[in-house]
Chains A and B, each alone.
Chain A
Amino acid sequence: MARALVVRTVLMMAVLGAAAAASSAPGTRESVREILGARHPVTMTAEDWRKLGGDVDVYLIEAAADTALRYGVRQRAMSGLAAVGGPRAKEFLRDTIQRSKVAPELLSTAVHAYAKGFAKSDPDDVRLVSVPLLDHVDWVVRQGAVRALGEMGTKEAGEALRLRQTRETHPAVQSALRKALGQPEGGKR
């Protein structure tokens, strides 16, 4: 708990400091918000994001943490952080996953984004934070954890998914499990 508070404080200070430093890139924040709010997803590579400004991750974090914004905007911001990568994105997503009061929709996206962004560079940590969420009470979170572990494709991740498959009851998570494990759908809805 104390560690989480310290991490959050340090992270927020880093974000605020970087936001102040980012004043040399006017319009970055507006461009980020415009893309996140687009009627349809705008395909953005890490390079596309960085073209908006060197501190684009700061504005993505700001959007992802903004409680006034729709979950869709915040989910897109997390996907953006997965693409951009870097220590601030990693710390923010990890902190989001470990916070106690996060909406299931956002938690699900955060764990999947964490895997998409960092499964290659830090597979052990991604597995460490994802596996406990396979037993989450909300099926939406379990589905996100399944997709995260499916993203990894490692032997350990596969073992955790197969174990979950023996007791998962929700059809949407069962379907995600089959996809993550490369099993045929079998015509089930």
Chain B
Amino acid sequence: MTERARELGGRMLALSAAFGILAGSAAAQDKSEVEGARQARIAAMASRIEYQTRDLSTLAPVAPVVNPIRSQPGPAIRSFTFDWASDTVSFLVYAESGTGSVGITLEPGTPERPNSYGAWASFVFPGVDDPVPPGKYSFDVTGAGSDAAVVKSKSRRGAQPSSGTLDLNLFVLEGCGLTNQGLAEALVVFAEVMADARIKLGKVSVVTVTGAAGLLSPGSFGEANGTAAALSQQFTVNPPNTLGANLFFLKNVPDVYGFSQGIPVALGIPGAASGGVVISVDTHNTDRGFDGRELGLTMVHETGHSMGLYHTSERDGSQHDTINDTPTCAGGSEAGCPDGTNIMFWSGHGVDLSEGQGYVLRRSPIVH
């Protein structure tokens, strides 16, 4: 190698090093700017949350209103009808049993899927991304082993929406470990995912529930379900936002990140036992700090259920939602399934909502 070549080689190396440092510096600056913007979004979110406090220990228990669906003991089936007009946007039916299980059956061929959750059952039109033709629709409510059930409906009318706004009622049990920072971080993620469905985050109200320390950490899923029913009956009577989605934050539910009380829940129906979703706060903690992003994803997934969305695919591939544009998987993991990136996939960290899922969400009785 000549002296000239060596000199050139040395200069090239020096230049490469300089560019490397510059590139590294630019990347660090980009990262810093991205983090700065993220922190600004979190701060902006935190500033828009409205807070209030309610003391559960001073509130009288709410007795569920139960209307008979049959007068004689024995298997009971009662039929109902409702009208779908040209300006109907959505129609939700909710049945709640006082003493036993209850189920709903829709007309054969109906693409919507009713959901029974033991003591309550429900469905919502539209539950799929197909327009509902105007007309009369019927459904049966069955009470297996129950003597009575209350059947309620919630409808929404107006123009077919191309976008919408969703308010949130967040009932946070005092002592559950949720910080304002963690919640704001989660809400930023919630707003970003919901934006895919052209749904804006509206009013966010936090109700700090005091006098409920005994309910912070149920010992089982069944116990948590009972806790959630009691909270729902109490707090959906007079929520901060009448049409908001209700989320109840507990400290820890064994093996649970979150669950919806139904698919859908009793959206906008005051005093129902199944009025929202439960979030287990501790399960989103790590040794390195609170994982607000995962909390946000849990909140979207469960709120999706509460507004009528099913899993795109179940783990064994035996069941799928009936939304037209969500891919289905014959069974398997996030990486191996075409719907693995969807927020309603059975597992993983997906963030996508399809246009079809957005169709259902935008028409929800609680979206305005």
Given the contacts A37-B347, A41-B255, A70-B283, A172 and B217 also touching, CB distance less than 8 Å: yes
Interface residue tally for chain A (C-beta within 8 Å): 35
Contact (Cβ within 8 A) B256 A105: no
Closest A residue by C-beta to B298:
A39
User: Do A71 and B286 touch (CB < 8 A)?
Assistant: yes
The answer to whether A140 touches B252, judged by C-beta atoms less than 8 angstroms apart, is yes
Establish whether residues A34 and B347, one from each chain, have CB atoms under 8 Å apart when the complex forms: yes
Flag if B282 contacts A71 (CB, 8 Å).
yes
Residues of B within 8 A of A188 (CB): 214
State the majority secondary structure of interface residues on A.
helix
Q: Is the CB of A147 within 8 A of B333?
A: no
A-contacting residues, B47-80, CB 8 Å: 56-57
A12 CB to closest chain B CB (Å) equals 17
User: Is the pair A140, B286 in contact by a Cβ cutoff of 8 Å?
Assistant: no
Q: A172-B213, A189-B56, A189-B212 are contacts. A75–B288 as well, Cβ < 8 Å?
A: no
The interface residues of chain A lying within 8 Å CB-to-CB of B10 are none
B277-291 contacts to A (CB < 8 Å): 280, 282-288, 291
Residue of A nearest to B223 (CB): A179
Contact B214 A71 (CB under 8 A): no
Q: CB distance A143 to B217 under 8 Å?
A: yes
Q: Which residues of A contact B333 (CB under 8 A)?
A: 30-31, 34
| Interface set, chain A 77-121, CB cutoff 8 A to B | 79, 103, 105, 109
Establish whether residues A67 and B286, one from each chain, have CB atoms under 8 Å apart when the complex forms: yes
Report if B221 contacts A (CB, 8 A).
Answer: yes
Q: Does A128 count as interface, using CB distance less than 8 angstroms?
A: no
**A72 → chain B, closest Cβ, in Å?**
3
Give the complex CA separation of A140 and B57 in angstroms.
21
Chain A contacts with B in 17-36, Cβ cutoff 8 A: 30-31, 34-35
Residues of B within 8 A of A (CB): 56-57, 211-217, 219, 221, 251-252, 254-259, 280, 282-288, 291, 294, 298, 301, 311, 315, 333-335, 345-349
A contact set with B: CB distance below 8 Å = 30-31, 34-35, 37-42, 67-73, 75-76, 79, 103, 105, 109, 140, 143, 147, 170-172, 174-176, 179, 188-189
- Given contact pairs A34-B347, A68-B287, A175-B214, enumerate 15 new A-B contacts (beta carbons under 8 Å): A30-B335, A70-B285, A70-B294, A71-B282, A71-B283, A72-B255, A72-B257, A72-B280, A72-B283, A105-B285, A109-B254, A174-B214, A179-B219, A189-B211, A189-B213
Which 4 A-B residue pairs are closest in the complex by CB-CB distance?
A72-B283, A171-B214, A67-B287, A171-B213
